Amino acid sequence: MGTSGSKARGLWPFASATGGGGPEAAAAEQALARPRGRVVPPFVFTRRGSMFYDEDGDLAHEFYEETIVTKNGQKRAKLRRVHKNLIPQGTVKLDTPRIHVDFPVILYEV
């Protein structure tokens, strides 16, 4: 309870050995900090897109088509959501890098 996904799996790439507690604690923390020797930057440069392309190449979160419904002799237009033939946007490059959600930093305004 209270842990993020990467902490729960035991992969905590942002930890550092610059804490108090003596050399034993620093050595133990450093051993846990690099499970495979790979250094991970604290920034995120891409994200998964949340929009879709339709057959015409338009990009939007949702697509609707107008249908004509006849009820009691009167024509009425209704919008029906389109679910078919939509292509996900894919990976989107961010304009400015973001800080990773698991990076342990406190942000404050002075």
> Residue 69 domain-assigned?
yes
> Residue 15 domain-assigned?
no
The 10s digit of each residue's pLDDT in 46-63 is 999 999 999 999 999 999
The 10s digit of each residue's pLDDT in 19-78 is 455 555 555 555 544 455 677 788 999 999 999 999 999 999 999 999 999 988 899 999
| Residue labelled with tokens 């339709």 | 54
What are the beta bridge partners of residue 52? Answer: 60, 88
> Residue 84 domain-assigned?
yes
Closest CA to 103 of 18, 7, 1: 7
Question: Which tokens hold the place of 5?
Answer: 């996904």
Alpha-carbon span 52 to 69, nearest angstrom: 27
Question: What's the DSSP call for residue 22?
Answer: H
Number of domains in the chain: 1
Residue 61 lies in domain: 43-99
